[in-house]
Amino acid sequence: MAIRNIVLEGDPILSKKCRVIENFDERLAQLIDDMIETMRLNNGVGLAAPQVGMLKRVVVVQVDRDEPAIELVNPEIIEAEGTQEEAEGCLSCPGEYGITKRPMRVKVKALDRLGKEHIYEGEALLARAFCHEIDHLDGILFKSHVVQMLDVSDLKSS
């Protein structure tokens, strides 16, 4: 496994649409393992392939360190309900946080590294992480969902 560099906001790769995965090969497995390691090292709850420079529909999510990371290949949100407004940030936008409006619960259909289909249900933080990371695959950053940007200096001093 290897740590990959995180692409920062301003790089055009973050606004592009990613390609569907068709080959479930060793390179895909390596990418997923590297993304999990990179997410953990950076204390992220999720990471999308374009954030490591790959225009591929691959996402990893881990909101609970005691659970295994979830790998999502060609993910699709198939159901969404409710709303939540919580603080959100992105490893590609260091130091920037905002309150976003997201669904409270989502159901996601995705493949794993072997091409097997899974359905995941996420609520609260997990729902937000699914939405945030899947948005990255279509070139959308969390700021498009922000209802109010937060001043980080206020956050730190309070």
Structure token digits, residue 112: 């794993």
Q: Is 134 in the site for Ni ion (CB under 5 A)?
A: no
Residue closer to Ni ion, measured from CB, 61 or 90? 90
- CB burial of residue 142 (10 Å; 0-12, 13-18, 19+): buried
In angstroms, what is the C-alpha Rg of the chain?
Answer: 15
Q: How many residues bind Ni ion (CB under 5 A)?
A: 1
Contacts of 15 (CB under 8 A, 6+ apart): 139, 141
Q: By CB under 5 A, is residue 6 in contact with Ni ion? A: no
Q: Which of 58, 60, 90, 137 binds Ni ion (CB under 5 A)?
A: 90
The question of whether 88 is a catalytic residue gets the answer: no
Q: Cβ-closest residue to Ni ion? A: 90
Contacts of 133 by beta carbon, 8 Å cutoff, 6+ apart: 46, 47, 48, 59, 60, 61, 72, 75
Closer to Ni ion by CB, 12 or 114: give it: 12
Which of 29/139 has CB closer to Ni ion? 139
- Please count the other Cβ atoms lying within 10 Å of the Cβ belonging to residue 2: 8
Binding mask 59-88 for Ni ion (x = CB under 5 A): ------------------------------
Is there binding between residue 35 and Ni ion (CB under 5 A)? no
Indicate which residues carry an active-site annotation: 133
Contact residues: Ni ion, CB under 5 A: 90
